[in-house]
Amino acid sequence: MIKNLFDNENAIFMGAKRSPDDCAIGIFGVNYDGTCSFKPGARFGPEAIRQVSSCLETYCPKLNKDLENIMYADFGSIIIDKNDSKSVIESVKSATNFLINKGLRPIMLGGEHSITTGAVEALVKKYPDLILVQLDAHADLRETYIGNKNSHACTMQRCLEVLPKKKILQVGIRSGTKEEFQFMHNNNQLVNFCPGGNAQELKQALLPYSKSPIYLTIDLDWFDPSLLSGTGTPEPGGFFWNDFEEILKTLRDFRIVASDIVELSPEIDKSGVSSIVAAKVLRSLILSLENMQ
Ligand SMILES: [Mn+2]
């Protein structure tokens, strides 16, 4: 089964295991950027995150936790048909199902944002009351984009279609069409959050969902391009590392059952800093997800 789904002959994230035995968390990559609208290159994201991960310490002083004490697996990247956006989403769904059936909490590495739909589709079978929290510069609520319903510009609209609860909280979105912003306001799903601010509004918005399973999708262009320039559609006016920690601190009181980190396009940022930031996001997620209910 693992053999048919994953290509795991390349690098591995920090001290990850290759097999699911005794693990709580499972990582997999999706090397796909077929619908990217501006600059492609997100297909190199998962590999870049793994490559630079050896530069990071396993210990996080903020959380006083060490990755060395956590069992997590890295299955490599899934095997996909890059020319068919629909089949890529199906493959993501199969991989996510594989991890859930093994009792693992999935963390998916992109790749472009369109892949999130596949993971969410798989998860709602197990968690019908799943809700989404999205960190992103963009609303991603278009009905179609350049003729493709599976474009990364439509991801949240596709997720809404498969979420029985129809609940997405979109944190600090700063780019989209007038219609997308209208839609977010009408559905009460835009959560205001400012660089350097506190996450009170997110906390308030999540209070009615204190028992709900949460899928956290992290489009790395949520960060400011001065910190993370290696992404296909950078957007000025973004967030910084402390802002991410503030969000994660708030989310730790809730119940994240799966997550993704998407849209790292490592070759755009020759310094490699973007890949390091992405790898540190992954480290923080593993440390945070490990003992959630
Ligand atoms: Mn985005």
pLDDT tens profile 223-275:
999 999 999 999 999 999 999 999 999 999 999 999 999 999 999 999 999 99
- For residue 231, the CA-to-ligand 1 centroid distance in Å is 9
Q: Tokens standing for 237?
A: 């006016």
Which regions of 21-166 does DSSP assign to beta strands (E)?
A: 25-30, 59-60, 65-66, 72-78, 105-110, 131-135
**Residue 221, helix vs strand vs coil:** helix
Higher pLDDT, 293 or 241: 241
Residue 54 gets which letter from DSSP? Answer: G
Residues sharing a CB contact under 8 Å with residue 200, sequence separation 6 or more, in sequence order: none
pTM: 0.96
Distance CA 29, CA 6 (A): 9
- For residue 235, the CA-to-ligand 1 centroid distance in Å is 8
Residues sharing a CB contact under 8 Å with residue 240, sequence separation 6 or more, in sequence order: 195, 196, 223, 224, 227
- For residue 113, the CA-to-ligand 1 centroid distance in Å is 7
136 assigned ligand-binding residue: yes
Higher pLDDT, 3 or 12: 12
pLDDT in tens, 56-112: 999 999 999 999 999 999 999 999 998 888 899 999 999 999 999 999 999 999 999
Q: Taking 80 as the threshold, does the pLDDT of residue 37 lie above it?
A: no
Distance CA 224, CA 172 (A): 12
- For residue 183, the CA-to-ligand 1 centroid distance in Å is 17
Taken in order of first residue, the domains within the chain and their CATH numbers are: 2-289 (3.40.800.10)
140 assigned ligand-binding residue: yes
Residues sharing a CB contact under 8 Å with residue 270, sequence separation 6 or more, in sequence order: none
| Per-residue pLDDT, 3 | 57
- For residue 47, the CA-to-ligand 1 centroid distance in Å is 20
Tell the burial category of 203 from Cβ atoms under 10 Å away from its Cβ (0-12, 13-18, 19+).
Answer: middle
